Structure 1
Amino acid sequence: MRCALKLLYGFTCDHPGVRHGGKPGSMLGELGMRDLLALCILFIGFTPYLSGRIDADAIFPGL
């Protein structure tokens, strides 16, 4: 998980317009709506690893 988060963080820092000004030379291609959706899903999926304040029992009762 740590490696995946580091790679995702690096991508969001390097790609222009995602988080910062970015590095235009490191851009592999244009981001489209599918890419945006995929990034949102990834960020939501990593949230439990970034915050201890999420109550998994409240989200998935009975598991």
Structure 2
Amino acid sequence: MQDELNRQIEDAKTDETELNQVLEKYDLDEQLALEFSQIDKLFRQLEIRYQSLVNTRKFLNNG
């Protein structure tokens, strides 16, 4: 009976390799960091375009 109980306990334990694979697959912090990085990159591009438009407008108004 003790052997059967030990076997059931071992079967119920989480496989660390499988757990790490699942954690990597569903790593929300990493996904959020990637999303933020993409949004930040797009925002910086938008900021550069806006500044270019402002500078062009100033140039055309002064010309």
TM-score (norm 1): 0.29
Higher relative contact order (CA 8 A, sep 6+): 1
Task: Please tell me whether Structure 1 or Structure 2 has the larger radius of gyration of its CA atoms.
Answer: 2
TM-score (norm 2): 0.29
User: Whose helix fraction is larger, Structure 1's or Structure 2's?
Assistant: 2
